Amino acid sequence: MNTYTPVTPPSAAITAEATERLGGLATPPGALGQLGDLAVWVAATQGVVPPKPIDRIRAVIFAGDHGVSDHGVSAFPKAITPAMVRTFLIGKAGVSVLAAQHGVSVRVLDLGVDDDLEGVAPEVTAFKVNRGSGAIHLEDALTTEETFQAIAAGETIAAEEIAAGAQLLISGDMGIGNTTPAAALIAASLGLPAMEVTGRGTGIDEAALVHKMAVVQQALDRAGERTSDPIETLTALGSADLAAAAGFMAAAARAGVPVLLDGVISVAAGVMADRLAPGAAAWFAAGHRSTEPAQSFALDKLGLEPILDVGMRLGEGSGAVAAVPLVRSAALLLSDVALLADLM
């Protein structure tokens, strides 16, 4: 596996050409704001100016359970995880509604749900690694073998989605308790204390938040120096679903396929992908700003400005899918707006 091998960035020549075209559009310079930057990024990832319309967008939801959810860190019980997987399958979750509206395909995969979902839809469990990852403040989330297995699963899933024609990928998540490992992965990778990164997840109260901060800090202290290595970080503090999402994004970047990030779980996986495949973040854009503080710290670290900032904290890939119309608009503006020089 070629983890740690640097990723080839999107073409600098195309970036320059797209930037020049943007500057020549029949708009005042800078008038498209962030949509202009997004348009240049789309063109660069496609390797063509003007960019093509983005027709085929595919979202993958990485589902899994987390031992830490039995330790007072979430407002909900872990039985919600398989219940929501079933809801994705019938197209009735928040992300399902947005994805149907915007023509995005959604695939849900059980990497580590503590339930027998095989009977529901065998394709959902094809990449299953475990039935819940370890309670990270007390034990490792995974064995090293499971970490490699989950990353390889993510790489295979990315290859399948790309073979199916994906022009843009979205990494979503489902798993009660998963904002705890996400915060821990970001804190460990950025060198931040639990107090700064930990958020309220599904909506815990002040007392539970103080407890959750202690749990995240205990996990960071337990992992110690091991967090200098990304595989060790995922083994100690991650989960099957987070490791798979990281492998998925690293593989997308290596294949030159852009990824639209979602909330704190998706962005934590993005941070790990950028450690496994240095430079991968150049292939990422941020769909939205989550209310979780860890996500904002991580976006800053990756150099990404979120497209939307509307207070969402649903996960599932929903914030990324909600940003899809603006990504499409950005590409269309750069391709279809007249050039000022042609008007005079």
Ligand X SMILES: O=C(O)c1ccc[n+]([C@@H]2O[C@H](COP(=O)([O-])O)[C@@H](O)[C@H]2O)c1
> What is the set of active-site residues?
316
Q: Which is nearer to ligand DMD, 77 or 325 (CB)?
A: 77
Q: How many residues bind ligand DMD (CB under 6 A)?
A: 8
What six digits make up the tokens of 42?
Answer: 């789309």
d(CA 80, CA 50): 44
Helices 230-237 + 264-276 axis angle, to 10: 150
Q: Is residue 172 within the footprint of ligand DMD (CB under 6 A)?
A: no
Q: Is residue 80 within the footprint of ligand DMD (CB under 6 A)?
A: yes
Q: Which is nearer to ligand DMD, 51 or 175 (CB)?
A: 175
Q: Minimum CB separation from ligand DMD for residue 228, in Å?
A: 31
Q: Is residue 178 within the footprint of ligand X (CB under 6 A)?
A: yes
Q: What is the dihedral of CA 268, 272, 274, 278, to 10 degrees?
A: 160
Q: How many residues bind ligand X (CB under 6 A)?
A: 24
Out of 64, 132, 154, 177, name the contact with ligand X by CB under 6 A: 177
Out of 140, 146, 241, 316, name the contact with ligand DMD by CB under 6 A: 316
Q: Is residue 295 within the footprint of ligand X (CB under 6 A)?
A: yes
What six digits make up the tokens of 38?
Answer: 């997004």
Q: Is residue 290 within the footprint of ligand X (CB under 6 A)?
A: yes
Q: Is residue 313 within the footprint of ligand X (CB under 6 A)?
A: yes
Window of 110-118, 148-156, 207-215, 314-322 that interacts with ligand DMD by CB under 6 A: 314-322
Radius of gyration of the chain (CA): 20
d(CA 321, CA 101): 9
Window of 1-9, 37-45, 213-221, 313-321 that interacts with ligand X by CB under 6 A: 313-321
Judge contact between 334 and 281, C-beta under 8 A: no
Helices vs. strands in the chain: H and E counts, helices first: 13, 5
Judge contact between 82 and 119, C-beta under 8 A: no
Q: Which of residues 188-207 bind ligand DMD (CB under 6 A)?
A: 202
Out of 27, 156, 202, 335, name the contact with ligand X by CB under 6 A: 202
Q: What is the dihedral of CA 244, 247, 248, 254, to 10 degrees?
A: 180
Q: Is residue 263 within the footprint of ligand X (CB under 6 A)?
A: yes
Window of 10-18, 162-170, 288-296, 321-329 that interacts with ligand X by CB under 6 A: 288-296
Judge contact between 294 and 273, C-beta under 8 A: no
Q: Is residue 238 within the footprint of ligand X (CB under 6 A)?
A: no
Q: Are strands 104-112 and 168-174 parallel, antiparallel or unpaired?
A: unpaired
d(CA 276, CA 256): 16
Write out the residues near ligand X by the rule CB under 6 A. 74-76, 173-180, 201-202, 262-265, 290, 292, 295, 313-316
